[in-house]
């Protein structure tokens, strides 16, 4: 018996959250229409991405006064900037005059943000500094750029577009604090960035990143060092922890005997080690994820940070950064191609799988099948997704 009738739109049937929970209870994957409905996608941007903490970038990208970067938060453009006093600000990237995007570049440095249309000028803290030829009585103080919440965890900058109170970022990420502290992520720097376009729904991309049921068959480079046997046996070398209503998940990664880093050889790809590993701390690899779109994995010599940016119901941009120790020099301490090889190959293999799933779940013949023992993190995602959607009445 099929659990879920296919509705014309996922929003016309019973609540999405209830449908998800019904599938979760039966241990089933989700119905195809949840991945193929533009109207549902629009609701998800409001209910999920504009209500949760979304990764924006690393503090090293905002080192100086006037540095800024832009980030897509559920389809809304947000600026993160550093002001002259050193404070970070999250600003809605929409001019208070007639709505032009203030900046249209991924990052840069400004003295003031100057709107390209009629030249209203805003300081890096969002206050309006100049507005030419406005009538008498115009009060600049009434028109600062609108603000969003910002938070920093271990040097990783997050924004939250939610209009009201937001969950405390530090509390959400408290569980992995101890696990990730030795990497001293805050003092690292971005060695390389890659932006991947994936023709798949954001939920498929996230689900794929949460399970390794597919790893043996699809990721020859990854399993050179990732110990699938220990992972499947679920022994102490793989300690999965959930918190924050399962939005946060962290784990140590089991590596094969002799391997000290997730690289092609198991040996460090960078000669300069991160944080306390540089002074002899025993090596380990660990991951911390925060739904809906942030994932990170750190080995003693480098880390990788993923940011999933949904673009449409069947398109997701995945922005990936490789981080190294602050003093590590390209061409001297590491070779970029070697640094990124395992994850770049693994990513491309994953995107091909996600794209194939996107096509498959769009078929009227698709009927959600049962999840395996190795997909409990996918079930964890369904749970978080249902909770977030239910909170928005969906």
- Answer yes or no whether residue 98 interacts with ligand FES by CB under 6 A: yes
- Answer yes or no whether residue 350 interacts with Fe ion by CB under 5 A: yes
Identity of the residue, 344 or 350, whose beta carbon is nearer to Fe ion in the bound complex: 350
**Binding partner of residue 350 among Fe ion, ligand FES, none, CB under 5 to 8 Å per kind?**
Fe ion
Structure tokens at 375: 């997909």
The strand order across the sheet containing 128-130 reads: 113-114, 121-122, 128-130
CA atoms within 13 A on the CB side of 175: 20
Least distance from C-beta 212 to ligand FES, angstroms? Answer: 48
Residue 352: which H helix or E strand, with range? helix 336-361
Which window, 19-27, 34-42, 51-59, 113-121, contacts ligand FES (CB under 6 A)?
113-121
Identity of the residue, 123 or 204, whose beta carbon is nearer to ligand FES in the bound complex: 123
Which window, 73-81, 135-143, 169-177, 350-358, contacts Fe ion (CB under 5 A)?
350-358
Residue 13: which H helix or E strand, with range? none
For 87-117, b where at least 16 C-beta lie within 10 A, e where not — what string?
Answer: ebbbbbbbbbeeeeebbeeeeeebeebbbee
- Answer yes or no whether residue 138 interacts with ligand FES by CB under 6 A: no
Least distance from C-beta 357 to Fe ion, angstroms? Answer: 12
Applying CB under 6 A, which of residues 97, 189, 224, 246 lies at the interface with ligand FES?
97
Identity of the residue, 143 or 366, whose beta carbon is nearer to ligand FES in the bound complex: 143
Position of tokens 């509390």? 171
What are the Cα distances from residue 318, in Å, to 42, 220, 250, 277, 315? 19, 21, 20, 29, 10
CA atoms within 13 A on the CB side of 306: 29
Residues 225 to 244 in contact with Fe ion, rule: CB under 5 A: none
Residues 4 to 33 in contact with ligand FES, rule: CB under 6 A: none
Least distance from C-beta 16 to ligand FES, angstroms? Answer: 37
Task: Point out which residues bind ligand FES (CB under 6 A).
Answer: 95, 97-100, 115, 117-120
């Amino acid at each position: 018996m099929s659990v879920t009738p296919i509705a014309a739109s996922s929003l016309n049937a019973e609540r999405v959250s209830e449908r998800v929970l019904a599938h979760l209870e039966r241990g089933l994957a989700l119905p195809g229409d949840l991945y193929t409905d533009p109207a549902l996608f629009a609701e998800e941007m409001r209910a999920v991405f504009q209500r949760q903490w979304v990764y924006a970038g690393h503090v090293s990208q905002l080192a100086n006064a006037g540095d800024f970067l832009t980030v897509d938060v559920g389809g809304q453009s947000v600026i993160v900037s550093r002001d002259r006093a050193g404070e970070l600000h999250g600003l809605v990237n929409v001019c208070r005059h007639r709505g032009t995007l203030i900046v249209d570049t991924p990052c840069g440095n400004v003295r003031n943000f100057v709107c390209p249309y009629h030249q209203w000028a805003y300081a890096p803290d969002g206050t309006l500094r100049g507005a030419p030829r406005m009538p008498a009585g115009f009060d600049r103080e009434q028109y600062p750029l609108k603000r969003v919440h910002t938070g920093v965890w271990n040097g990783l900058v997050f924004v939250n577009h939610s209009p009201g109170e937001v969950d405390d970022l530090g509390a959400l990420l408290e569980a992995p604090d101890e696990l990730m502290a030795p990497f001293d992520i805050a003092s690292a720097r971005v060695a390389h960035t890659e932006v991947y376009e994936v023709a798949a729904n954001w939920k498929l991309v996230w689900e794929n990143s949460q399970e390794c049921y597919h790893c043996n068959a699809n990721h020859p480079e990854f399993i050179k060092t990732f110990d699938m046997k220990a992972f499947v046996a679920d022994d102490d070398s793989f300690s999965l922890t959930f918190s924050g209503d399962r939005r946060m998940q962290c784990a140590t990664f089991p590596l094969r005997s002799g391997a000290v880093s997730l690289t092609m050889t198991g040996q460090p790809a960078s000669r300069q080690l991160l944080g306390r590993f540089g002074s002899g701390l025993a090596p380990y690899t660990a991951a911390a994820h925060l739904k809906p779109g942030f994932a990170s994995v750190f080995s003693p010599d480098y880390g990788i940070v993923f940011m999933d940016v949904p673009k449409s119901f069947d398109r997701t941009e995945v922005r990936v950064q490789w981080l190294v120790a602050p003093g590590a020099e390209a061409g001297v301490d590491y070779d970029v191609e070697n640094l990124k090889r395992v994850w770049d190959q693994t990513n491309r293999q994953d995107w091909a799988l996600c794209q194939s799933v996107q096509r498959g779940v769009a078929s009227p013949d698709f009927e959600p099948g049962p999840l395996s023992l190795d997909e409990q993190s996918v079930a964890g995602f369904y749970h978080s997704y249902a909770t977030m959607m239910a909170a928005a009445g969906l």
